[in-house]
């Protein structure tokens, strides 16, 4: 099983009513939520660790997880409201976001709600995004990653939202601590530029690698991706697709990579240390194809296993 931890929220996506009026339509979302759905749809046992509201938006999130076969053994419920994230999309441009997070359920995960241990069947924990900005949940998640360091694969996607960061120096320090604890770091070129202003993409990715993760994977949108492993660097072209929007593309890429590793019996610390360049290239290609399907339809709607050729 792969467990994804962090936020589950409602994305209010920009659109139009049947009368042509501008409107925002609710869709289940949040980077960890999207990643978890993508993992499950790719045929890998998936579980969600987080706190979800008991309000009707929260029930919408729970329904989405259940419909996709996600294990809810590690999911908590709370009386706090659901986080809302308004997303404005435009063809050919990155989405714009506005989040409403004060006092919401997914930001309120408590240390007493964490498992003391995981069964051996849990091969990896995936984490990141705005859950690392909101207390007390951010500190709780970091403590869990420290607890699990060296026991299983820990895969981190910062998925940075600068508009939510109140203390940039503090957040950079948290990212650096988590880079050092992670087995895999999947990070976008945009996030690297924010973390390391003034550095080239190569310099910034090497900076992440210097903290010690076994594998650093950098996504570059339509330009593809590359991976750093030891002294190896491999790259993969992007998959051509007619883009509807890019919401959830990075989450799907992350899920695709982890799913490929799982299915090829490489999702363990020993195998990750010896993974070959050819294997990395194949994994990046699979992840790229998964992300391309998500880009071909509106919102975070990741592909099923049989959609990947």
DSSP state of 305: G
Cβ neighbours of residue 253 closer than 8 Å, sequence gap 6 or more: 186, 219, 225, 287, 288, 290, 291
| Three-class HEC string of 53-81 | ECCHHHHHHHHHHHHCCCECCCEEEECCC
Q: Indicate the number of domains in the chain.
A: 1
CB 181 within 8 A of CB 149: yes
DSSP labels for 250-279?
HHHHHHHHHHHHHHTT--SHHHHHH--HHH
pTM for the whole structure: 0.93
The secondary structure element, H or E, covering residue 290 is: helix 277-295
User: What's the CATH number where 269 sits?
Assistant: 3.40.1190.20
Measured CA to CA, the distance from residue 126 to residue 232 in angstroms comes to 24
Confidence band, pLDDT 50/70/90 cuts, at residue 87:
confident
What's the DSSP call for residue 18?
Answer: T
Digit-coded pLDDT (tens) for 150-205: 999 999 999 999 988 999 999 999 999 999 999 999 999 999 999 999 999 999 99
20 in Cβ contact with 31 (< 8 Å): no
Beta bridge partners of 78: 53
Question: If you count them, how many residues does the chain have?
Answer: 309
Mean pLDDT to the nearest integer, 296-309: 88
- Segment 232-280, tens digit of pLDDT: 999 999 888 888 888 889 999 999 999 999 999 999 999 999 999 999 9
What domain range is 232 assigned to?
A: 2-307
Mean pLDDT of the chain: 93
22-26, 109-113, 278-282: which has the highest mean pLDDT? 278-282
Please give the residue that has the higher pLDDT: either 166 or 126: 126
Contact 181, 146 (CB under 8 A): yes
Q: Is the peptide bond before 136 cis (omega within 30 degrees of 0)?
A: yes
Nearest one of 260, 251, 261 to 308, comparing CA atoms: 260
Among the listed residues 106, 46, 24, the one whose alpha carbon sits nearest the alpha carbon of residue 251:
46
Which tokens go with 114?
């964490």
Please say if the pLDDT value at position 89 is more than 80: no
């Amino acid at each position: 099983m792969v467990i994804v931890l962090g936020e589950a929220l409602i994305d209010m996506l920009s659109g139009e009513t049947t009368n042509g009026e501008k409107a925002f339509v609710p869709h289940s979302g949040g980077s960890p939520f999207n990643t978890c759905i993508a993992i499950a749809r790719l045929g890998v046992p998936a579980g969600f660790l987080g706190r979800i509201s008991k309000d009707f938006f929260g029930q919408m999130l729970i329904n989405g997880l259940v419909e996709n076969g996600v294990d809810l053994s590690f999911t908590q419920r709370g009386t706090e409201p659901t986080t809302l994230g308004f997303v404005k999309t435009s063809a050919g441009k990155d989405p714009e976001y506005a989040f409403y997070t004060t006092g919401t359920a997914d930001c309120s995960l408590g240390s007493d709600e964490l498992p003391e241990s995981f069964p051996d069947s849990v091969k990896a924990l995936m984490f990141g995004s705005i859950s690392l900005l909101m207390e007390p949940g951010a500190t709780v998640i970091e403590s869990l990653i420290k607890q699990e360091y060296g026991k299983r694969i820990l895969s981190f996607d910062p998925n940075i939202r600068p508009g939510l960061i109140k203390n940039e120096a503090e957040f950079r320090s948290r990212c650096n601590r988590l880079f050092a604890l992670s087995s895999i770091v999947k990070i976008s070129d945009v996030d690297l530029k924010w973390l390391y202003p003034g550095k080239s993409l190569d310099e910034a990715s090497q900076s992440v690698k210097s903290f010690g993760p076994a594998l650093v994977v950098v996504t570059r949108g339509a330009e593809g991706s590359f991976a750093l492993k030891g002294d190896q660097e491999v790259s993969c072209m992007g998959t051509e697709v007619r883009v509807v929007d890019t919401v959830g593309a990075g989450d799907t890429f992350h899920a695709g990579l982890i799913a490929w590793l799982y299915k090829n019996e490489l999702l363990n610390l020993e195998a990750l240390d010896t993974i070959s360049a050819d294997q990395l290239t194949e994994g990046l290609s699979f992840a790229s194809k998964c992300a391309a399907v998500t880009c071909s339809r509106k919102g975070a709607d990741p592909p099923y296993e049989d959609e990947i050729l």
